[in-house]
Amino acid sequence: MPLLMIDLDNTLVDRDTAFGAAAAAFLAEHALPADDLAWLLTLDASGYAPRREVAGAMTDRYGQAVPVSAVRRFLDHGAAERVTLPEPTRRALDRARADGWTCVIVTNGRVVQQETKIRNTGLDSLVHGWVVSEAVGHKKPARQIFEAAATTVGASLDGAWLIGDSPHADIQGAVGIGARSVWVSGGRSWAETAYRPTQTATDAASAIDYVTGHVPGYGTNSISG
């Protein structure tokens, strides 16, 4: 079977919801205004904002009210310890492995955070391996991170599929290596004009089931061309 590469944050796991819950808990713990939740979510930019910039902005805003160590702990562990793996996604990965697909997670981010998510959710036992951008020195959509993913599991990029939620990091990355792709839209509309995914799915489970030839479990409208 070909290689199946899958993004982690907001694809396999709902990273944004976990970050929001962690941010709300952080504000409550330090008696900070609950209205600051919107500011933190904007600052975070779904995890795409550099952590150093986020930490610096938080330290500037909260000053002596919050120790720097607490800000670091929140950013390193808050969301990572709250993410969960949806059961439909777990079952879809089980089916993919049973069918002989080689599954590897390809994720941008820091090793300490991403591996915490992978291990805490049990994804480490559901995939054949993973690569984290910090560890390999390249971020999606760079070709090198996908080459590293294939090498990690002893597979080839020939005939590979890529599933992910980011038009730039995932779908443009797939185009760059000649792979087919499924964009996990989360209800969004595709806006890019220079490139397109092979297919669109509302969530990771239906995307995996599409690639591996299984019928999505909750309606044929889960997949669109």
State in words which class domain 3-14+85-224 has: alpha beta
Query: 36-44 and 15-29 helices cross at what angle (nearest 10)?
Result: 140
In the predicted structure, residue 224 carries a pLDDT above the cut 80: no
Looking at residue 6, its amino acid is I
Q: What is the 3-state secondary structure (H, E, C) of 86-142?
A: CHHHHHHHHHHHHCCCEEEEEECCCHHHHHHHHHHCCHHHCCCEEEEHHHHCCCCCC
Answering whether pTM is above 0.85, one says yes
Fill in the DSSP letter of residue 175.
H
Question: What mean pLDDT comes out for the span 54-71?
Answer: 96
- Parse the chain into domains and list their residue ranges: 3-14+85-224, 15-78
In the predicted structure, residue 222 carries a pLDDT above the cut 60: no
Question: Looking at residue 220, what is its pLDDT?
Answer: 33
Q: Could you read off the pLDDT of 134-152 as tens digits, one per residue? A: 999 999 999 999 999 999 9
How many C-beta neighbours within 10 Å does residue 163 have? Answer: 28
Q: Measuring CA to CA, which residue among 84, 36, 75 is closest to residue 55? A: 75
Alpha-carbon distance 93 to 125, whole Å? 10
Q: Could you read off the pLDDT of 161-199 as tens digits, one per residue? A: 999 999 999 999 999 999 999 999 999 999 999 999 999
In the predicted structure, residue 217 carries a pLDDT above the cut 70: no
Please state, for a pLDDT cut of 70, what percent of the chain lies above it: 95
> In Å, how far are 40, 45, 69, 145, 166 from 30, measured between CA atoms?
14, 22, 13, 39, 33
Whether 127 and 94 have beta carbons less than 8 Å apart is answered as: no
Fill in the DSSP letter of residue 220.
G
Question: What mean pLDDT comes out for the span 130-137?
Answer: 97
Alpha-carbon distance 61 to 36, whole Å? 10
How many C-beta neighbours within 10 Å does residue 54 have? Answer: 18
Alpha carbon dihedral 176, 177, 182, 185, in 10-degree steps, equals -30
Mean pLDDT of the chain: 94
